[in-house]
Structure 1
């Protein structure tokens, strides 16, 4: 019988709607895009009352004010990055329990449907304020905010809507040929 709890550092395991998903290591372009957006947001948040969580951080989508279902902690999501403001999160074991203000996923070939449909529906249904999908194949940024979806080019200055004065532009990013 296989060990379903086995964890390989090159495989990301997450649970979505009770189903276990495993993803291989991403293409180097994923890391290039991740580094740019993570650095931009991290610099902006310096000294502010928001916490930026990096990839490989387990997230349990729940209100930290309510009792946590231990079963949910064993089935975390693993966003590429997320932001929680005003200390509205709790650390339980290795999981952050929160409804993030901002979540960003970077599309990989293996995650197109997951990021564009399954996770988007879940994040919005759970109350995530703003959800971004970065696609380095099409060089687009899809922004879901207040029931609206807008698509931008990597050439555009894209506003992070939950903040008054933060924009992200991926114009100067150097991607590898795919």
Structure 2
């Protein structure tokens, strides 16, 4: 018996209900497992740092997953964090963000490494996400990728928490923001079992 591949659309995705954490990439549905403690610890740290900057400057809006980002009828993702600039608030609707955010953050988990680093990089490039952060809690590192005029990502800033603890990353989209990795990865650990 052969199976017929089902192409998922945003309309069909809506039938899943709010209880299911899932994404559609190129019409393929993938269920997203609940993130582990280390992942959520890093998410909370980044949310505090970015949220404080955004509140202080009033430049836009930041939210965490699960928030749908509808890039097209066949591409619906839930980045770990996303930022939309105030002048683009029109893409924010109650059901999600309809169009590319200005900045997305993906925090790598062992089960999502390939999708987050390879598949989503290509997707975010194609749909015009201006800045993409890849956060690796296991390496205690952050790579900040900036979209060029040719719609390709180039490394804008990267940092890995070294023994001296002085590594920082900067953002282009959030001008003037510097993130000290010691603040992101404080008490960060890879939880046992």
Q: Same fold (TM over 0.5)?
A: yes
TM-score (norm 2): 0.76
Using the TM superposition, give the Cα deviation of residue 75 of structure 1 relative to its aligned residue in structure 2, in angstroms. Answer: 5.4
Partner of 1:160: 171
The equivalences for 1:3-152 within 5 A come to: 5-6=15-16, 9=19, 12-46=21-55, 47-61=57-71, 72=73, 76-88=76-88, 89-92=90-93, 94-145=95-146, 146=148, 147-149=153-155, 150-152=157-159
**Cα root mean square deviation, aligned:** 2.2
Bigger shift: 53-62 or 142-151?
142-151
> How much has 1:175 moved relative to structure 2?
2.0
Which blocks of at least 5 consecutive residues in structure 2 are unaligned? Answer: 1-12
Cα distance between partner residues in 1 of 2:126 and 2:120: 10
Q: Does structure 2 retain, via aligned residues, the 8 Å contact 1:14–1:22? A: yes
Distance 1:26 1:15, change over 3 A: same
Q: Return the alpha-carbon distance in structure 1 between the equivalents of residues 190 and 59 of structure 2.
A: 38
Using CA pairs under 8 Å that are at least 6 residues apart, name the structure with larger relative contact order, 1 or 2: 1
Deviations 1:28-56 (A, max 9, x none): 01011001111111110115131112110
Size of the aligned set, in residue pairs, is: 164
Q: Secondary structure of the equivalent of 1:83?
A: strand
What's the CA shift for 1:86?
2.9
Check if 1:177 corresponds to 2:164: no
